[in-house]
Amino acid sequence: MVEAGSFSAVATEMATSQPTVSRHIAALESHLDTLLLLRSTRALTPTAEGMLFYEKARAVLAAVADAEDLVGRRRDAPSGQLRLACPVVFGRMHLLQPLCRFLQRYPQLDIDLVMREEFADLVEEGFDLAIRIGELGETGLVARLIGTTHRVTVAAPAYLAVRGTPEHPHELARHDCVLFTRLGGGTVWHFDGPNGALSVAVNGRLRSNNSEAVRTGALNALGVAILPTWHFAEDIEAAGLTRILPEYEPKPLPIHAVYASRRHLAPKVRALIDFLVDEFAQHPTLAPRTDTGTRKLVQADDPIL
């Protein structure tokens, strides 16, 4: 009821009638001797007790689902269509080949892959899963860590020959920078250095919400850039860029698989998440720094690539 929003929506989902759903809710309220929903002609709103009961019940259902997984009661082969969203550049460079192997492993499964920079609304647009890079805001989704984006600060040799090589992040305020604008605008860069974390405000003539455009700008000597290491299949210098500020690492960003709810998680979704965890764990630039796990999304400030 909390998730569906109305008795009629629940009735449709459960293939029953609205009066039947209403009677079940009334019986539950009678059993608990507590009002769970505030009813009006326009909407149904959970009471504080109703939300508490909902959260606890959802946790119990999740625990039951985990128990079923452990004893092997969910061994159905993945099948049907899986709708997946991911960032454009990361998808092109690091998802397409693994997805081909995944489809070869599960011949009864189809994947509808949507690659774009904007975040997909998983519920409204009918996505089963999304891959997101960066700290995640509080959205009510469930996230599983599948990898880590390590980043480096780079510039073209031609740019450094004219403007000089910065020795400390604070010197970047006097340089042109190529800015990645996804979400927060990219005008503050965060580093971990010998003396701890520090931040510096930056600016530049080229900014983009696409990390491949940022790389192209850096290659064309438009300024200093921060790029994911997974951009470089070859050595950074061989790619035409020079790494600078090696003692000051840009803050790494987690890579998550996110989905709307862990209740009744489809075998196809679970199979793809597990597959990507194994794939990225073996990748030299994508392996996560911490153990994988499932958690609620938390608020953070860094952009998502």
Overall average pLDDT of the 106-110 stretch: 94
Spell out the domain ranges in the chain. 7-70, 80-148+253-296, 151-250
Is pLDDT at 70 greater than 60 in this prediction? no
Length of the chain: 305
Overall average pLDDT of the 166-175 stretch: 96
Is pLDDT at 302 greater than 60 in this prediction? no
Q: Which CATH class is domain 80-148+253-296?
A: alpha beta
Residue 65's contacts (CB-CB under 8 Å, 6 or more residues apart) are 262, 263, 264, 265
Kind plus residue range of the DSSP H or E element containing 272? helix 267-281
Percentage of residues in the chain having pLDDT higher than 90: 49
Overall average pLDDT of the 201-221 stretch: 93
Give Cα separations from 121 to 126, 141, 147, 183 (angstroms).
8, 10, 22, 15
- d(CA 29, CA 216) in angstroms, rounded, equals 61
A 10 A CB-CB count for 102 gives: 20
Q: Does domain 7-70 have CATH number 1.10.10.10?
A: yes
Both tokens assigned to 14 = 């459960």
Q: What is the DSSP letter of 91?
A: I
301 band by pLDDT with thresholds 50, 70 and 90: very low
Overall average pLDDT of the 192-218 stretch: 93
**Strand ranges (DSSP E) for the chain?**
37-39, 44-46, 80-86, 109-115, 129-133, 142-149, 151-155, 178-180, 188-193, 196-201, 206-208, 225-228, 242-244, 249-250, 253-259, 294-296
- d(CA 35, CA 26) in angstroms, rounded, equals 9
Q: What confidence score (pLDDT) does residue 68 get? A: 62
pLDDT digit string, tens, across residues 10-57: 666 666 777 776 888 788 778 878 887 777 766 678 888 878 877 788
How is 35-58 classified by DSSP, letter by letter?
A: --EEE-SS-EEE-HHHHHHHHHHH
Q: What confidence score (pLDDT) does residue 69 get? A: 60
Is pLDDT at 234 greater than 90 in this prediction? no
> Which one has a higher pLDDT value, 181 or 220?
220
> Which one has a higher pLDDT value, 277 or 236?
277
- d(CA 201, CA 190) in angstroms, rounded, equals 9
Whole-number mean pLDDT of the chain? 83
Beta-carbon-side half-sphere exposure of residue 299 (alpha carbons within 13 Å):
0
151-250 — its CATH code? 3.40.190.290
pLDDT digit string, tens, across residues 112-144: 999 988 887 888 888 999 999 988 775 678 899
